[in-house]
Amino acid sequence: MLTVEQVGKEYPPAGPLLRMVARTAHSEPVRALEGIAFDVAPGEVLGVVGPNGAGKSTLIRLCTNLLTPTEGRVLLRGYDVRRAPPEVRARVGVVLADERALYWRLTGRQNLCFFGVMAGLTRAEAELRADELLQELDLAGRDRRVFGYSSGMRVRLSVARALMAHPDLLILDEPTRSLDPVASDHLLARLAELAARGCAVVMATHRLEEVAEICDHALVLDDGRQRAHLRVDDLRGGARSVPASLRALLTAELGP
Amino acid sequence: MSARAPRLAALARRDLAIEVSYQFRLAIFLSGAFVSAFLAFYVSKLVGDPESLERFQGSYFDYVVIGLALTSYAGLGVVAFTAQISREQAAGTLEVLLSGPTRLGTVLAGGLIVPLGLTTVQVALLVGMGVGVVGTGLSTRGVLLAVPVVVLTVVNFCALGIISAAIVLLVKRGDPISGPVAQVVLLLSGAIFPVELFPAWLEALCHVNPAYYGVRGLHEALLTDGGLAGLVDELAVLSAFACLGLPLSLWLFSAAVAKAKQLGVLGSY
């Protein structure tokens, strides 16, 4: 479903003109990721774990074609993600680590209907699906403008948006942030259920208990490098390919 | 119905819902027509009917109201895309839209529908109330002839606006096109006064400005009896500018998106 082939990302230094007008542009190259390689099969849940700054969000952006890799490539059902046809891209649900990524002046339902049509549903299909997901994610009956939502509700709405077009690949960047324990458990259960029905899931998180709960595999990133790509069961067993320091941390979090 | 049409409709519904949610802003925007007409009316009382406008059957009031109408459309073309890109970046929705199957061209085109509709309502109020009621009157034939002139002018300014949006995508704020360049382009259009009043070198500069042909075409259509034959030159020049400008602007915008993906600044603002 998703294949990442030796992907690396180095942010190039901006040209002098761009540096002059945009003060945030880099003046030196910044190496964010190096030599990342993994596959995600249908029905598999991959947890991308690592400390802050490890490169998790960069990897998520590369997989969703929001960043161009410096080397390697990302394949979506065999297509390079940069040239994947619309019908393939339509079946990818994305939740970015940014709760702003909704129209706050629209209601939750209006947001879902809009993004549903943009993902290729008809208006009638989008309305039906929106009502279904609002119910399922406990947002029904509170269909007010998004600026009146709590942080947790916005995250749940982002997840609902990603599920609108019945994706067969879900890519989520820290989806349980801002969620209370009950909502978090509910979301993880929903993701496990989707995986059981054949949906591939890639989830960046730094909550290792989530990896233990629903992931089949874990991709361990540290300082932009792939430290390990393991079955979660192996991780519990203390596989030798995980550096000792990281293994101690992971096994303590995951349990014996 | 093509796959693009439902998406364009969804983009228009989104923008309309957002516009309606800012009722005060909407009222201010539409009332701008009354303020412009009021201002033009009293300036025209001061100016009278100058000789330089003899060719046009209307008064200075009609002349300037039509110029302001075209300026509204030109301004829309220049700022609409930049405003849209800035809004989507600030809302964090640009990345979500671009990670999906909808083409960027559709997102840009869809984002123009509601602003274009609102500007048309504003212009209809301005021209209808100004030239139609207070001024010398509008003929149906003139209004029909004005349509292709307005369409081509909007297309030309959209090209400029898309280039402006490409710059904003990378530098975020302070693009030169929607500010100083647009002001110079409109100053050299003849919207407020005939360009014949300029010194010869400045007047010559006006002849490479598409807005000049838009304003001249609209004046010809609404204020003279020249008919379609009198508009051929303006329509030909506007078409030529559009054929060059639109593909160039779209190419520049695609290049800016690719650069933003390379630099990792697509969603930042």
DSSP output for B76-121? HHHHHHHHHHHHHHHHTHHHHHHHSSS-HHHHHHHHHHHHHHHHHH
The DSSP code for A207 is -
Q: What is the spatial distance between Cα B202 and Cα B196, in angstroms, rounded to a whole number?
A: 9
- Listed by number, the residues of chain A in 141-160 with a beta carbon closer than 8 Å to a beta carbon of chain B are 145
The pLDDT tens digits for B32-55 are: 878 888 888 888 888 877 777 777
List CB contacts (< 8 A) between B13 and chain A.
114
Residue carrying structure tokens 């960069």: A58
Which chain A residue lies closest to B20 (C-alpha atoms)?
A: A105
pLDDT band at B58 (very low <50, low <70, confident <90, very high): low
List CB contacts (< 8 A) between B171 and chain A.
18, 21-22
Q: How far is B251 from chain A (nearest CA, A)?
A: 17
Q: Which residues contact B35 (CB under 8 A, 6 or more apart)?
A: none
Question: What mean pLDDT comes out for the span B114-118?
Answer: 92
- Domain-wise residue ranges, chain A: 42-65+92-254
Given A11, A64, A86, which is nearest B101 (Cβ)?
A86
Given B93, B261, B263, which is nearest A103 (Cβ)?
B93
Q: What is the spatial distance between Cα B196 and Cα B183, in angstroms, rounded to a whole number?
A: 19
Does pLDDT of A60 surpass 60? yes
Does pLDDT of A231 surpass 60? yes
The topology (CATH level 3) of A42-65+92-254 is: Rossmann fold (3.40.50)
The DSSP code for A13 is P
Question: What mean pLDDT comes out for the span A140-161?
Answer: 87
State the maximum Cα–Cα separation within chain A, in Å, rounded to a whole number: 55
% of residues, chain A, pLDDT over 90: 46
In whole angstroms, how large is the CA radius of gyration of chain B?
A: 19
What's the mean pLDDT when you consider all of chain A?
85
Question: What mean pLDDT comes out for the span B216-240?
Answer: 87
Listing DSSP states for A195-221 in one string gives: HHTT-EEEEEES-HHHHHHH-SEEEEE
Q: In the structure encoding, which two tokens stand for residue A81, read together?
A: 């993600």
Q: How far is A89 from chain B (nearest CA, A)?
A: 5
Does pLDDT of A83 surpass 90? no
- Flag if B174 and A86 touch (Cβ within 8 Å): no
Interface test with A, best of B262, B266, B268 (most A CBs within 10 A): B262
Does pLDDT of B178 surpass 50? yes
Q: What is the spatial distance between Cα A213 and Cα A251, in angstroms, rounded to a whole number?
A: 13
Q: How many CB pairs under 8 A join A and B?
A: 120
A118 interfaces chain B, CB cutoff of 8 Å: yes
Given B99, B262, B263, which is nearest A65 (Cβ)?
B99
pLDDT given at position A159: 92
pLDDT band at B1 (very low <50, low <70, confident <90, very high): very low
Residue carrying structure tokens 């993906």: B261
Does pLDDT of B17 surpass 90? yes
